[in-house]
Structure 1
C-alpha cells in the first residue's frame, strides 16, 4: 500500500542548531523517534535513551535492551534506503565467527514499519564520538594519536584479508569506544554524554505531524566525558562497503579522500581504501585535510594532488571521465572539449614536501618520526593502486622501531 503524499509545508525551525534536516521526515525519509520510545521486534525490544548522531541516510540512537538491560547503538536507515548492502557486508563478517577489536560488529538487525515507510534497523555496541569531533581530536596526546593510527590500519588490514573494501573511510567513520558503561543507569549515562537537549517540532499551525517526532534531539555534547579515556577506536558505517571482487563503478566518499584513479575509469579497489587510509592517518596526526579541497570540483582535487605528489601517470592521459566528474554550472559541462590540463602530466616543482607539511601540522612528532611518517604516507599514495603499500604492511611500519623512535 503506497503512502499518501504529504501537503507542502515547513516545520517550525528549531531555535537550537541541530544541523539535521527536519524536512526529511516525509514518506521515504527518516523514521520519527522520540526519547523513551520502544523499538524492535517481539523477541528483542529496545528503549531509546539518547541520540548519538545522524547522517544523510540514517539516524543513530543510544538504546537499552528491554531483555538484558545492555546498552547499544541503534541505527535506523531512511525508508528510501532499499539497498541492503551494509547489512549483507556486516552479516558476512559476523558469519566468519571472528571479529576484530577495531571493526564494529553487528549485534542484531530487523525491520520496522512507520508512517514514512519500512526501515532497516541495525544494532551495534554503544560507541562514543568520532574523530570528526574537533574537541576530541584536538585533545588527543601524541602517543594516543599514533595508537589510533595503528588501530585504524589494523582494522583495514582485517577487512582486506576478508575480501572486503570499506569504500568510505573518513574520520567521521572512526569512532571511539566509551569507557565501561555496563553498570551505569540511564540517568548516569546521560550525565556522562551530556544532558538531552531537545526542541519541540511543530507544524506552522502549532500541531504535530504524524510523520515526524514531537521533538528534535541534539547529539550529545560529551560534557560529562573524560576525553583522556578515549583511546580505542572502531571502523564503522559499511553503507559504501563492497566485496573486492565486486567493485562498484564509483564511490560516495567525500572529495577530500576521493582516490584519483576512479576519476580516470579505474574501478574502486583495496588500493582505493589505502588512499583513503593515508588521508585519515594524516588527519589523525595533523587535524587538517591532506588534500584541502572545499568545493566538490574534481578538477581542483586533481590540481591539488598534482601540486603535492607530482604529475599523474602518462597512461591516464585522455581518460578523465568528464561526464561523471567534470565541473558543471547550471547543468552544463564547462570543459566542453573534454581535455585535461596538460600540466596534470608534466613535471613541476612541488608546492611543499610531505615532511614540511607534517612539520607544521604535527609538531608533536619528532624529526625521525616525521620523516618515517612522511615516507609511509607517500608509499600509500602511489598513483597506481597496485603499487600502494598494503594495509598489513602499513601496520608493520606503524609499529616499527623507526617510527617509534622519539629521539
Structure 2
C-alpha cells in the first residue's frame, strides 16, 4: 500500500536508446546537468542520508502532443511511504494533504476505526485520475489546511461519518 500516488509520482519511461547512452551522449542531448544545493529552511545541518545536492530535472524536448503511444509507457515512483497493511497498522497517510484519504485524518488506534488499507490507495488513485481526465484536481483548498480540505470533502461528498 502506498497512499502516495499523485501526478508527481507518475513518470514517463525514458525513450528507447536513452538507457544505453554514455554520459557524454546524454550531455549532448540534454546539456550539462544543473545541480542545486540542498538547504534546510531553518538553516540546520542536513539529516544523515539526505544528499547535499540535487540534480535539476531536464526537459527532453518533446511536448505531450509529440509523444507517441509507443513512447508513453509510464511507471510509478517514490514508494518511501509504502507499507503492508497485513503487517503494519498505520492510521495516518504521509501524502499531500489534498490527496490524503479522509480516514487518515480521523482514524485513531484503539477507537472503532480501522487502520489504513487498500481503500486509501483507491482514494489517491481516484483523485489522480480525476486530475488527469478532469479539468484539474478534485480538491483545491487554499490555503491548504486540514480544515479547508475537510470543508471541500463535505461540500463534494456530503457529511462525514458520525464517529469522525
TM-score normalized by structure 1?
A: 0.31
1:174 paired with 2:16, answer no
The aligned runs of 1:4-403 (5 Å cut-off) are 165-180=1-16, 181-198=18-35, 216=53, 218-225=55-62, 227=64, 228-229=67-68, 230-245=71-86, 246-265=88-107, 266=113, 267-286=115-134, 288-312=136-160, 316-317=161-162, 319-320=163-164
Question: Partners of 1:172 and 1:264 in 2: how far apart?
Answer: 26
Structural RMSD (CA): 2.8
Q: Normalized per residue, which structure has more strand?
A: 1
Question: Partners of 1:247 and 1:285 in 2: how far apart?
Answer: 33
Contact 1:167 1:273 in 2 (8 A): yes
Closer, same or farther: CA 198–276 of 1 in aligned 2, 3 Å: closer
Larger radius of gyration, structure 1 or 2? 1
Question: Partners of 1:220 and 1:293 in 2: how far apart?
Answer: 28
Higher relative contact order, structure no. (Cα contacts within 8 Å, ≥ 6 residues apart) = 2
Closer, same or farther: CA 242–198 of 1 in aligned 2, 3 Å: closer
Question: Partners of 2:36 and 2:104 in 1: how far apart?
Answer: 43
Question: Partners of 1:232 and 1:249 in 2: how far apart?
Answer: 33
Structure 1 stretches of at least 4 aligned residues deviating more than 4 Å after TM superposition? 198-201
Q: What is the number of residues matched between the two proteins?
A: 141
Closer, same or farther: CA 278–195 of 1 in aligned 2, 3 Å: same
Question: Partners of 1:286 and 1:185 in 2: how far apart?
Answer: 40
Closer, same or farther: CA 200–296 of 1 in aligned 2, 3 Å: closer
Contact 2:36 2:56 in 1 (8 A): no
Q: CA deviation at 1:174?
A: 1.0
Listed as ranges, the gaps of 5+ residues in structure 2 are 39-50, 108-112
TM-score normalized by structure 2?
A: 0.71
Question: Which secondary structure state, in structure 1, belongs to the residue aligned with residue 129 of structure 2?
Answer: helix
